[in-house]
């Protein structure tokens, strides 16, 4: 596998666009990414489109809007990890020399479902009995509180940080800061989670252009190299016995760090999959940013805020930037690319040289329909 | 890219299984393919699942039934080419050395839609105005009749051949031979197409195991090598001006033949995408098996029947074997693998050394949501 780099990144502000089609939502992000790359449309040799619920031929419908056709177009679904999986497939194909440059799109239009918890597979008997995502994360939060003494104030501070970062991101769905009291007093969703502990539903799109390292150096003096890529599947959590340990993230991170030679101590910023506030704390530990049980301290010490030792979700994360499922994986990459380039203005992580994206999801039945993808980037 | 081979193949008889879930339909095909490969479950390093309408996390749901988890699982959608696209992605990843062995699944459960023409994207304005697939192919048939003098009897003979082959295939959905008169007198669907000119709706699953050439030789003396892989996108047909020329197939075949060094004259058998009887004739020409306008003669001379110069769809094709959309691409590969191994009993193409699979599909809006995938195999 040869060196591969990201040379173009674009996205639209996440939000609610009920009047637009999926293709209408996504094409501006693609156009932005291609323009940012400096490549001509004809130099894009393949496209990978990640969407969980976007319907048939999503990539083809989007690219038609830009007059891009003829090339291989692959549509990929992997729940919340749809576009991070698409990114990995493109990375493999460019790394193998099959293509010199490829486009990766992530997009979703959730407003078509009218809001609320998404339609999940009824084959999942736990879902059929009410164990939808907010309920699952509420149980994990209660367990973590029991095991490690997390307080409701500490849990609320995850959302406060997310909104503080989101307020600095023009592409975030929520840009109003909130207080601990506001988070705690928001409408209850699944005890102890309130509305502000849960990521919003919405629409969005993000896109990146990747190419061989050699081609990247022809177009930019600041390519963002892909240092590692890891995808796995398995248990969404370890099971009822230990709901606080996201097994696939622990395993994926260990493999990625070993293969890349980069350790958690080398990571300057991370975009992690904070679909619910408790998740971010679990992932601090699973990704090795702190020891088990130390996540709340890391947060309260400000280490994961912009300006801290390891800023997490400077974009605002899923809680503030939004979580249009298939768009999230690539949107995380867009943020890391912009951070490593120093393009993030008020939310810039100073001197960032290595960034990590972590995207995980899946169904809950038997807790083993999970998928986890982690990527490392460096400049 | 190193050499890659198919070492395991399995499928279930295509048909209607309304009482089963997608996972229940697919797992036996996967089990069969893995057993056929001689690999242990733990040696499968990644799985790619192609399905157009199977819902979220289809691969994960299927593999859970077999206790296969932990590995990367990628779900891929590309309309009729969903699982042939999945096959290509697996081929690239194994060829690049990312994995030594990978599983490719194709599956679909169409009975959940209750039959009839499938739900297509309403963004396709031509679909919204009635240009569904049978109507599109009826127009192409009429045009071909006008241009090249094809008769209704000749068109019917495509279906007669398909059913003749399908009668020899225990995995075919339709195993009763039909006559020219029966085809012509069947219920009209879209003039000149009758019911027997159209592939059936149904459920199905197929799976193959691929691995590096080196690993293949450790497990079998008869690996089936992948000689070439080509996917593109573009116009489903050239447009209203020339409806008889499937542009993406013409272009894909030309590229594949050039890259692989194999020509149409070298191909001993082919599985092509005969969703409607007229399509098979168009693809004879597009794939270079005969000159433009000569397809009916090739058929009537028996050259594309088993025993002829270039048997096409010895499995019965989509018309007789069935067309559970996402299952079709891999099912075509299963047939070619079995033919090249000499495992096809009464429908065996004697001495077959090189086989081709051709899978194409997509939406119709502006005729440019098409996808075409072609693969070449040799022993």
- Taking an 8 Å cut-off on Cβ atoms, the answer to whether A71 and B362 are in contact is no
Residue B236 pLDDT > 80? no
Please tell me which residue of chain B has the smallest CA distance to A53. B56
Interchain contact B197–A (C-beta under 8 A): no
- Would the pLDDT of A366 be above 60? no
Chain B interface includes A254 (CB < 8 A): no
Whether residue A133 is predicted with pLDDT greater than 90 in this model: the reply is no
Whether the pTM exceeds 0.80: the reply is yes
Encode pLDDT of B155-168 as tens digits: 999 999 999 999 99
CB B217 within 8 A of CB B45: no
> How far is A324 from chain B, CA to nearest CA, in Å?
15
Upper half-sphere CA count for residue B75 (Cβ side, 13 Å): 33
Using CB atoms and an 8 Å cut-off, which of residues 70-99 of chain B contact chain A?
70-79, 85, 88-89, 92-93, 95-98
Note whether B295 and B376 are within 8 A (CB): no
pLDDT at B227 over 80: yes
Question: Is A238's Cβ below 8 Å from some Cβ in B?
Answer: no
Q: How many CA atoms lie within 13 A of B155 on its CB side?
A: 30
Q: What is the pLDDT of residue B155?
A: 98
The H-assigned helical ranges of A261-307 are 277-286, 295-300
Please tell me if residue A258 touches chain B, with a CB cutoff of 8 Å.
no
Least CB-CB distance to B75: which of A22, A60, A77? A77
At residue B364, the pLDDT reads: 53
- Give residue B41's pLDDT band: very low, low, confident or very high (50, 70, 90): very high
pLDDT one-digit tens code per residue, A339-348: 999 999 999 9
B255 CB near a chain A CB, below 8 Å?
Answer: no
B-proximal residues of A, 51-70, CB under 8 Å: 52-53, 55-58, 60-61, 64, 69-70
pLDDT at residue A285, rounded to an integer:
98
Segment B145-172 mean pLDDT? 98
CB count within 10 Å of CB A341 equals 18
Q: Does A187 touch chain B (CB under 8 A)?
A: no
Is the pLDDT assigned to residue A124 strictly greater than 70? Answer: no
Contact between B82 and B76 (Cβ < 8 Å) = yes
Q: What is the pLDDT of residue A117?
A: 66
pLDDT at A114: 80
What pLDDT, on a 0 to 100 scale, did the predictor assign at position A128?
Answer: 75
Among this protein's residues, is B80 annotated catalytic?
yes
Q: Write the pLDDT tens digit of every residue in A155-209.
A: 999 999 999 999 999 999 999 999 999 999 999 999 999 999 999 999 999 999 9
**pLDDT for B153:** 98
- Across residues B181-198, what is the average pLDDT? 97
Tell me if chain A has a CB within 8 Å of the CB of B195: no
Read off the pLDDT of each residue in B240-256 and give the average, rounded to a whole number. Answer: 89
On chain B, the residues whose CB falls within 8 A of the CB of A98 are 1, 92, 96
B300-338 residues labelled b (16+ CB within 10 A) or e (exposed)? eeebbbbebebbbbbbbbbbbbbbbbbbbbbbbbbbbbb
Does the pLDDT value for residue B366 go beyond 80? no
Could you report how far apart the first and last alpha carbons of chain A are, in Å?
A: 19
Instruction: Please list every residue in chain B whose beta carbon sits closer than 8 Å to the beta carbon of residue A73.
Output: 78, 233, 371
**What was the pLDDT predicted at B115?**
73
| Nearest Cβ partner for A77 among B77, B121, B370 | B77
Candidates B339, B283, B323, B276; CA nearest to B106 is B323
A245 vs B211, more confident: B211
What's the mean pLDDT when you consider all of chain A? 94
Give the residue-averaged pLDDT of A127-151: 90
Contacts of B236 in chain A (CB under 8 A): none
- Residue B104: burial class (beta carbons within 10 Å; 0-12, 13-18, 19+): buried
Residue A371 in contact with partner chain B when CB distance is under 8 A: yes
Q: Per-residue confidence at A303, pLDDT binned at 50, 70, 90?
A: very high
How many CB atoms within 10 Å of residue B67?
8
| CB contact (8 A) between residue B57 and residue A369 | yes
Q: What integer pLDDT is reported at residue A260 of this predicted model?
A: 97
The per-residue pLDDT for B241 is 67
pLDDT for residue A268 is more than 90: yes
* Mean pLDDT, rounded, for A60-78: 95
């Amino acid at each position: 596998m040869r060196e591969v780099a990201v040379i173009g990144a674009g996205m639209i502000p996440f939000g609610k666009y009920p009047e637009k089609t999926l293709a209408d939502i996504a094409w501006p992000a693609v156009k932005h990414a291609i323009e940012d790359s400096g490549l001509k449309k004809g130099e894009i040799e393949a496209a990978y489109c990640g969407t969980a619920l976007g319907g048939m031929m999503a990539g083809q419908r989007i690219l038609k809007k830009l007059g891009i056709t003829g090339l291989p177009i692959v549509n990929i679904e992997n729940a919340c990890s749809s576009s991070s999986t698409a990114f990995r497939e493109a990375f493999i194909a460019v790394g193998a020399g099959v293509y010199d440059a490829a486009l990766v799109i992530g997009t979703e239009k959730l407003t078509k479902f009218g809001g609320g918890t998404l339609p999940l597979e009824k084959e999942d008997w736990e879902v059929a009995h009410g164990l939808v995502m907010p309920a699952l994360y509420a149980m994990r939060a209660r367990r973590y509180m029991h095991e490690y003494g997390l307080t409701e104030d500490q849990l609320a501070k995850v959302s406060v940080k997310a909104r503080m970062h989101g307020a600095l991101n023009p592409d975030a769905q929520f840009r109003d800061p909130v207080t601990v009291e506001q988070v705690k007093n928001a409408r209850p969703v699944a005890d102890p989670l309130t509305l502000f502990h849960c990521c919003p539903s919405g629409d969005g799109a993000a896109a990146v252009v990747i190419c061989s390292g050699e081609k990247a150096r022809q177009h930019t003096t600041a390519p963002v190299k892909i240092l590692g890529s890891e995808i796995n599947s398995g248990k969404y959590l370890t099971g009822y016995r230990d709901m606080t340990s996201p097994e696939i993230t622990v395993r994926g991170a260990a493999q990625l760090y070993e293969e890349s030679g980069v350790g958690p101590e080398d990571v300057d910023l991370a975009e992690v999959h904070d679909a619910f506030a408790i998740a971010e704390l679990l992932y601090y530990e699973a990704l090795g940013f702190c020891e088990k049980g130390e996540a709340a301290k890391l947060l309260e010490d400000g280490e994961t805020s912009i300006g801290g030792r390891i800023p997490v979700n400077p974009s605002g994360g899923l809680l503030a930037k939004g979580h249009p499922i298939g768009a999230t994986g690539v949107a995380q990459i867009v943020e890391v690319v912009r951070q490593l380039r120093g393009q993030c203005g008020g939310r810039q992580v100073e001197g960032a040289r290595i960034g990590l994206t972590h995207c995980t999801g899946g169904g809950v039945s038997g807790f083993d329909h999970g998928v986890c993808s982690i990527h490392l980037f460096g400049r």
